[in-house]
């Protein structure tokens, strides 16, 4: 059974390894820790493979193991979670600021957003507090549904939706501030790239 179990497990897990590593890297902010986290999660998943129900979502199951492994093993190093003022969170913060401060006669908001590079967005995403970053990663990067995220992080659906909403608002605010610092917005208008 050992060889069969190994081949079944390899076949199931292989397509998910790149996204597992990517998510682990965003959670740990360190390549070595991300590799260790994926290895630990794979080991736990292999040992628990007989508990996996066929015809269910393996990807959600393995990500739940990955997240739980991170929470129990790697998050202990964090002394205190970041504090957030929810009063500063506004709905559609980025678009609202664009409407208030930027003249968009020739430039659309979508064109402005295209000025952001993947690395800029990754930096902004990594600046989010853990509980929001995780939900945004699982939904907007990995494509899990709200129900799947609820099962992965073992939290009520309302909590998932609330964290996703707040995480997206924080991300919008961070991207707005980042755009101003990087000179994408100058003198009340969007700076054109040559």
Specify the DSSP class assigned to residue 103: B
- Whether 1 has a pLDDT exceeding 80, the answer reads no
Q: What is the maximum alpha-carbon separation in the chain?
A: 68
**CB 66, CB 43: distance < 8 Å:** no
One fold for both 2-77 and 86-190? no
The arrangement of secondary structure in 86-190, i.e. its CATH architecture, is: Orthogonal Bundle (1.10)
CB atoms closer than 10 angstroms to residue 118: 7
Predicted confidence at residue 4, as pLDDT, reads: 86
- Whether 123 has a pLDDT exceeding 60, the answer reads yes
- Verdict on whether the full-model pTM lies above 0.85: no
Q: What tokens were used for 28?
A: 């740990």
Predicted confidence at residue 87, as pLDDT, reads: 41
- At 49-71, the pLDDT tens digits run 988 988 888 999 999 999 888 88
- Whether 22 has a pLDDT exceeding 50, the answer reads yes
Map out the domains of the chain as residue ranges.
2-77, 86-190
* Residues belonging to the chain: 194
Instruction: Judge residue 1's burial from the number of C-beta atoms within 10 Å of its C-beta, 0-12 exposed, 13-18 middle, 19 or more buried.
Output: exposed
Mean pLDDT of 117-137: 79
| CATH T-level fold of 2-77 | Rna Polymerase Sigma Factor; Chain: A (1.10.1740)
């Amino acid at each position: 059974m050992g060889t069969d179990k190994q081949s079944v497990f390899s076949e199931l897990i292989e397509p998910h390894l790149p996204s597992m590593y990517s998510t682990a890297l965003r959670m740990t902010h360190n390549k070595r820790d991300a590799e260790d986290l994926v290895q630990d999660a794979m080991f736990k998943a292999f040992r628990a493979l007989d508990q996996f129900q066929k015809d269910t979502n393996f990807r959600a199951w393995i990500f739940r193991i990955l997240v739980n492994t991170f929470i129990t093993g790697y998050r202990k190093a964090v002394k205190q979670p970041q504090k957030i003022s929810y009063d500063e969170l506004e709905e559609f913060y980025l678009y609202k600021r664009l409407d208030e401060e930027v003249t968009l006669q020739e430039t659309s908001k979508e064109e402005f957003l295209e000025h952001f590079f993947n690395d800029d967005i990754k930096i902004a995403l990594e600046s989010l507090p853990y509980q929001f970053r995780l939900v945004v990663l699982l939904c907007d990067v990995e494509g899990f549904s709200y129900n799947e995220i609820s099962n992965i992080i073992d939290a009520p659906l309302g909590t998932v939706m609330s964290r996703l909403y707040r995480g997206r608002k924080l991300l919008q605010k961070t991207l707005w501030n980042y755009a101003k610092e990087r000179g994408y917005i100058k003198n009340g208008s969007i700076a054109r790239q040559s």
